[in-house]
Amino acid sequence: MQKKLAGLSDRIQELNTLLSSETITNDMDQYRKITKEHSDITPIVDEYHAYKKNEANLNEAKVCFLTLR
């Protein structure tokens, strides 16, 4: 599951690069497809990033707790 979510995170970066291209609107069908995919996976990627941040914060708190013992 983690690998799939990481893959979606990579994919959103690819889509952002494609959407920032000057020629993206030359092919409107492709543009629609890319913007649809982007809007479909953005909420998932946002939640994944929030999860990873919380996981990192938890690990940091554990280290701090263990060093204070």
Using one digit for the tens of pLDDT, what is the confidence trace for 45-60?
A: 999 999 999 999 999 9
CB half-sphere exposure, 39, CA atoms < 13 A: 5
Distance linking the first and last C-alpha atoms of the chain: 34
Gap between the Cα atoms of 67 and 7, Å rounded: 35
Average pLDDT in the chain: 95
**The model's pTM:** 0.82
Every domain of the chain and the residues it spans? 2-68
